[in-house]
Amino acid sequence: MNSEYIITKEQIKWINEQYGGSLRTDAEIETALDLGKGRNVYRKIAYLLKAILVGHPFTDGNKRTALMVSLAILESCEIKIAGKQKENLVEEILKVAQENITDVNRIERLVRYAITGN
């Protein structure tokens, strides 16, 4: 699962706009997209979760945007998640936001565990 992103900065901005937000700064998103190149899907998501949930690049809807971006990336990599996995992912996204987790390794482990149980 080393495929490149099938999500762009513009698509991330569009997702956020659906929740009434607007972009405050795109530097963290661009950095996250660059750092995720050539990485596994969970690491890609981890970089973007850190950028969105800790960096707060949007005026509103950062947590909702983080969830939808994560789901879009998983779908683009043909990883299907349902019920409990989705609930677990939501819980981990909230944990990253509430605890202001900045360690990308930890975020990656949380995302991987939410989706695979490992």
pLDDT tens figures, 17-76: 999 899 999 999 999 999 999 999 999 999 999 999 999 999 999 999 999 999 999 999
CATH code of the domain occupying 9-116: 1.20.120.1870
- In the predicted structure, residue 9 carries a pLDDT above the cut 80: yes
Helix (H, G, I), strand (E, B) or coil at 102: coil
The structural domains of the chain, with segments of one domain joined by +, span 9-116
* Exposed / middle / buried, residue 83 (Cβ in 10 Å: 0-12, 13-18, 19+): exposed
Spell out the residues 6+ positions from residue 92 whose beta carbon is closer than 8 angstroms to its own: 110, 111, 113, 114
pLDDT range class, residue 1, cuts 50, 70, 90: very low
Helix (H, G, I), strand (E, B) or coil at 59: coil
Is the full-model pTM beyond 0.75?
A: yes
How far is 43 from 51, CA to CA, in rounded Å? 12
Spell out the residues 6+ positions from residue 39 whose beta carbon is closer than 8 angstroms to its own: 2, 47
